[in-house]
Every structure is written in C-alpha cells, then in structure tokens.
Structure 1
C-alpha cells in the first residue's frame, strides 16, 4: 500500500518575512491559533522572537516540538494575550479568527490592536464566502455568513466584511483573495496585512 501523501506545503508567509522582521524590532511576534505549528516553525526559523498559542493543548504541544525556540502555550483567543505586559511588534493570525460571534470577533481584533506597538503589523487570513469545500454552504446558518460546520461555528468573509472588521484604527497595507491547496481541496480565503494606526 503506498504511503499517504504529505499535505502540500503552504508557503504563504515567505513574502511577509521582511515585514515581520522589521516589525519584530518593536516587540515579539504573537501568533494566534498556531495549530500544529507549520507557521510557528517557519517564524521561529526566521529568527523572530515568537509567542504562539492555540486553544488545543495537543496542537500547542506539537507546535512547541516543531519550534523549540518559541514560547508556545494553550490558550483561547478570548483570554488575555500572553505578552506579560509587553507590546507585540506584529501579530499573525492565520485562519484563527473565524470561530466567534461577531461581537467577540470585533473584541479580539480590538485587543490585537491594543497589544501592538505603535505602527505594529497584523497579518491574517480569513475564510472567504466562496470557500464552499470547507463550510461556506450546505450547513445550518447561525448568523450572517456564520455556519455550524460539523458541530463547530465557522465564519466566512466577503471583502466588505473584512474591511468592516478593520475599519477602526487600522491602515490596510494589502488585501488579496487567494486559494490554497494546503488542505487537499481548494480553500478560498482572504489574506490581509494591516498596520496599527495611532
């Protein structure tokens, strides 16, 4: 029997590493929802001071083993960020801000802004409304573009919703729609880079 195919690598962070290195001079990089640590490993390998967390203890343990130079914790994004009173130079949140009711999502984004040093950067990816392979249709709707997907809430964003999420106190540096093959079937998402405004 042939070995299972390895998941395709998703090199999305590569082009953002210069921005993150520059932002990292002002404080550590905070990774929200690190999962099993693919991005954590890449960020740590780039020499960034990294604090990462995930709500899954098992995933956080895997991420910690992949990136021993990083500080990796088990934590919910709705809890205080583990920065020990410091400000972050940058925040990375790849496909980790879509699980919450809208008011909680707004609160998390507001706290991300507050934790950043002046001019600090946020790099995030968000589920797109055309992400039909991964829940954007065919599931019970619990709010606008918010569905119960296999028992878990999952939000999907159009461009207007992304811009609305970051309307207050942010400067949009880049916003692009992408499709990744990382998960097997094509996954549609928005990729945004933002700077905290004073």
Structure 2
C-alpha cells in the first residue's frame, strides 16, 4: 500500500491542474453565507470547493495532507488560509469550534477503524449547531474503478495502491450512527468528475449529543 501523502503529492504534481467546481453546495448557500468564518474544507485538494466559497466572499480554512495540493491552491487563491495535516491522526481544532466542515470525496480512503476515528474527530470539533457536508463514493462507482482488489471489509477495496471505500445507504447509517448524528439530507446521483462519470452519495449531517 502506498502512503496517502505520497499518493496525493504525486497526483497533484501533474501539470495543468486547476480547481474546477460543480454547484453541489448551492442548496446550502444561505447557511454558508450566514457562517462566513469557522468553515473548514477538509481534504480540499487543489481547492475546488474553496474556490466556490471564495467567489461568494467566504474564506474557509483549506486543509489537505498534500503539500503539492495546497501549493497549487495558494497560487490560485493566495488569501485563503491553508493547513497541511493528516486527518487520520486528528483534526487540529478545538472542541465545538467549527461551524461547517466540507469533506468532498475525502472520507472514503480508510479502513473501518480509521474511518470511525475521523468521523468521531469531525463530530468533536463541530459546534453544537454545526453541519457536515460530505460526498462519498457510491457502491455503484465500483464498476468505474477498473482493477480492484477485495480486502477483508466488504466495501473497502484496493485500487491504484490505496484503499477506497464505497457506501450505500446502510453503510452511511452504520458509520453515522443515530446517537451521534442527525441526517439533514442524503441523495445518490451521478456526476461528471474529471471528464468521467462518477456515482456518489451527498450527505448533510448535524452532530447529535446524548444528554
């Protein structure tokens, strides 16, 4: 298995990369405009969603494991604050300090224990009325991945030297358990991604707290 940092640094060294966004965040526009600070773009890559927010006058904290990605992002949007860290070892934010976390196609690269840990960290740092906006690989995306190798986990596959996890509604419910999260929105759809079709789930979750 290739370390994720190495994989993404190599990927983002490709020439000619520029941030390109679709409009999946439009439906949350009122909420995002209301909360112009304390927004984190987690696993931001070269800044697709950060650019979307920037053009609306919102300056998120753009976070990624890849220095190469953040370098390209800063070249395009110098005024955005960036943070380079590995989300699997924790998020460098205080408890209940972040209003919105955007995790667009960045939470599905880990084994089960690590995925649970990352989701728990997101829950920790979100404010009580915070919001997680995320897109995840759908199980229907597996057929688009070419050569894959099955792991011990049903929906965790090896592809291109890294793990890739795939979700259906049951898996979403399993990882985002009812006593920790309240579902605001969930839908599965197909989109154009890097000139290819991609099947994914879009979810919006609010943290729940057991009293």
Alignment TM class, shorter chain as reference: 0.7 to 0.9
Q: Does 1:79 align with 2:93?
A: no
Question: For 1:35-60, what per-residue CA distance to the aligned partner results, in whole angstroms no more than 9, with x for missing partners?
Answer: 01111111223233411111111111
Match of residue 194 from structure 2: 183
CA distance in 1, matches of 2:31, 2:48: 19
State the structure with bigger RCO (CA 8 A, min sep 6), 1 or 2.
1
After the TM superposition, which residues 97-116 of structure 1 pair with which residues of structure 2 at under 5 Å, given as runs? 97-116=107-126
After the TM superposition, which residues 1-198 of structure 1 pair with which residues of structure 2 at under 5 Å, given as runs? 9-22=21-34, 24=35, 28-83=38-93, 87-135=97-145, 138-142=147-151, 143-167=153-177, 168-198=179-209
Structure 2 unpaired stretches of 5+: 1-15
The alpha carbon displacement at 1:11 in A equals 1.8
Report if the CA contact (8 A) 2:19-2:46 is conserved.
Answer: no
Report if the CA contact (8 A) 2:155-2:167 is conserved.
Answer: yes
CA distance in 1, matches of 2:83, 2:55: 18
Report if the CA contact (8 A) 1:133-1:185 is conserved.
Answer: no
Q: TM-score, normalised by structure 1?
A: 0.87
Question: For 1:69-116, what per-residue CA distance to the aligned partner results, in whole angstroms no more than 9, with x for missing partners?
Answer: 321122111133233677000100000001111111011111101101
Assess, with a 3 A threshold, how the Cα gap between structure 1 residues 106 and 55 changes in structure 2: closer, same or farther: same
Structure 1 runs of 4+ aligned residues shifted over 4 Å read 6-9
The alpha carbon displacement at 1:133 in A equals 5.0
Q: TM-score, normalised by structure 2?
A: 0.82
